[in-house]
Amino acid sequence: MPDAILSPFRRFSKEASAVGRLLSGYSTLELTLMNSVHMGRGGDLNAVLKSMFGIRGESKRIAKAETLGGPAYEALACYPGFRSAPESRKDALQSLDSTRLVQLLQV
């Protein structure tokens, strides 16, 4: 890889490690959220998958998941538990956005 890309990672190895952990855990959060919506809506994976991943942008996907899954979990009196999944994802997204900004400033 070009040194311009690797230089910030060498210079800030602890921060780079944190970014790596965030990125690797982010996909798990995304799939867990999709699975939560899928199960709450009665197991129609195809509809949930197309609806959530048919749009671009993490924030839009989180909002779509809340729209799709919220009413189903509210009807089951489990909404507070479901609500934690999109919130976790929003926190991870915010952390990643902050990290991206720091990286841009360091390069």
Residues 44-79 have pLDDT tens digits of: 899 999 999 998 887 888 888 888 888 888 888 877
Chain position carrying tokens 């060498």 = 10
User: Which DSSP category does 107 fall into?
Assistant: -
| Cβ-based neighbours of 11, under 8 Å, separated by 6 or more | 106
pTM for this one?
Answer: 0.61
What confidence score (pLDDT) does residue 87 get? 67
In angstroms, the CA 77 to CA 29 distance is 22
Instruction: Concatenate the DSSP letters of all residues of 24-88 into one string.
Output: HHHHHHHHHHHHHHHHHTTS-HHHHHHHHHTS-SHHHHHHHHHHHHHHHHHHTT-HHHHHHHHHH
Average pLDDT over residues 19-39: 81
Residue 100: pLDDT over 90: no
